[in-house]
């Protein structure tokens, strides 16, 4: 045990008084100092920058996180103001979207408070979220490991898959059908997964040309076949309801990869199945 004298203090009358010596346990003192240092170190780690010992909110990090930040390589979403950097759920988006639709209705000269329009903003917000639900899906999720080893190399075709999408130029629908063919390379894909791939990319703001290419590239990546062919036929309401107003017009796009691009006979066989065999 060691002895140390406390500093002189002033009593309520203003007169100095020297207290009696007190004893201090050096082991206890060492523990207290260690605990204090540990608290400062925790503050340092939490706040994430040198010299800070303030208790700041963990929801206001000092530096932004990106996909190149260590530990965040596989993150699909980053937000500087969110420590868990999770994207908002679909339901979280409804209030702001509803408010925007309400303002749009009012801008058209309508009364958003009248009975027929009272719940329209919320309905429209939910509908738009459904139309664009492909943003919440990935190819890995929809395939769900439905890739199978098969000793076959003959053409596989799934035709006339219904497709509904939204034109990114006017935010009006376009719809139609998609036919997909591929030449297996000892691997086949569950047939329903081809339709699901179409759904993932069509349920977004799109142009038909990009949609067709994305479907073909997704199949190519999933099973690495010798070739992939996609033909998409669509009716665009931006040409039917407005603009030139041609109600019978259809747009056809195609994407040919691998042997379908290199071999004209293979390509013709696929196209004949798509158009000639109903």
- Kindly state whether residue 153 falls inside one of the protein's structural domains: yes
What backbone torsions phi and psi does residue 13 show, to the nearest 5 degrees? -90, 0
* pLDDT number for residue 91: 86
Say what the pLDDT of residue 108 is: 97
Task: Judge whether 70 lies within some domain.
Answer: no
Closest CA to 225 of 171, 276, 157, 277: 157
Q: Which of 175, 169, 176 is closest to 242 using CA atoms?
A: 169
Active site residue 169: yes
N-terminal to C-terminal alpha carbon distance within the chain: 99
Query: Is 208 tagged catalytic?
Result: yes
Q: Is 168 marked active-site?
A: yes
Q: What is the DSSP track for 186-201?
A: SEEE-HHHHHHHHHHH
Q: State yes or no: is 238 an active-site residue.
A: yes
pTM: 0.69
Within a domain: 78? no
Domain count, the chain: 3
Q: What is the DSSP letter of 176?
A: E
* Pairwise CA distance, residues 182 & 257, whole Å: 9
Which member of 199, 208, 233, 274 is catalytic? Answer: 208
Q: Which of 169, 209, 262, 268 is catalytic?
A: 169
| Annotated catalytic residue 232 | no
What's the CATH code of the domain at 183? 3.30.1130.10
Q: Is residue 153 domain-shared with residue 265, that is, in the same domain? A: yes
170 a catalytic residue: yes
Contacts 24+ apart (CB under 8 A), 20-29: 25/1, 26/2
The predicted pLDDT at position 44 comes to 42
277 is a catalytic site residue: no
| Catalytic residue selected from 103, 113, 150, 168 | 168
Of the residues 100, 131, 162, the one at which a domain ends: 131
Task: Report the CATH number that the domain containing residue 100 is assigned in CATH.
Answer: 1.10.286.10
Residue numbers of the domain that contains 19: 2-47
Measured CA to CA, the distance from residue 25 to residue 165 in angstroms comes to: 76
Which positions of the chain have pLDDT values less than 50? 2-14, 40-62, 79-83
């Amino acid at each position: 045990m060691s002895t140390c004298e406390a500093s002189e203090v002033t009593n309520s009358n203003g007169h100095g008084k020297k207290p009696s010596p007190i004893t201090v346990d050096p082991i206890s003192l060492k523990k207290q100092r260690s605990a204090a240092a540990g608290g400062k170190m925790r503050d340092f780690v939490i706040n994430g920058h040198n010299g800070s010992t303030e208790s700041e909110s963990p929801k206001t990090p000092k530096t932004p996180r990106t996909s190149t930040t260590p530990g965040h390589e596989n993150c699909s979403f980053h937000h500087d103001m969110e420590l868990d950097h999770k994207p908002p759920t679909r339901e979280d988006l409804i209030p702001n979207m509803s408010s925007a639709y309400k303002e749009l209705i009012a801008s058209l000269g309508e009364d958003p408070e009248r009975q027929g329009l009272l719940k329209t903003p919320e309905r429209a917000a939910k509908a738009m979220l459904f139309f664009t639900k492909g943003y919440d899906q990935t190819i890995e999720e929809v395939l769900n490991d439905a890739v199978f080893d098969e000793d076959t190399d003959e053409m596989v075709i799934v035709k006339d898959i219904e497709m509904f999408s939204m034109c990114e130029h006017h935010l009006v629908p376009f719809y139609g059908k998609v036919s997909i063919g591929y030449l297996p390379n000892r691997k086949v894909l569950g047939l329903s997964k081809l339709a699901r791939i179409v759904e993932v990319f069509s349920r977004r703001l799109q142009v038909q040309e990009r949609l067709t290419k994305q479907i073909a590239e997704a199949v190519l990546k999933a099973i690495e076949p010798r070739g992939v062919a996609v033909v998409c036929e669509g009716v665009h309401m931006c040409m039917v309801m407005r603009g030139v107003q041609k109600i019978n017009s259809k747009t056809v796009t195609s994407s040919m990869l691998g042997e379908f691009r290199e071999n004209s006979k293979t390509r013709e066989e696929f196209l004949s199945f798509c158009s000639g065999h109903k």
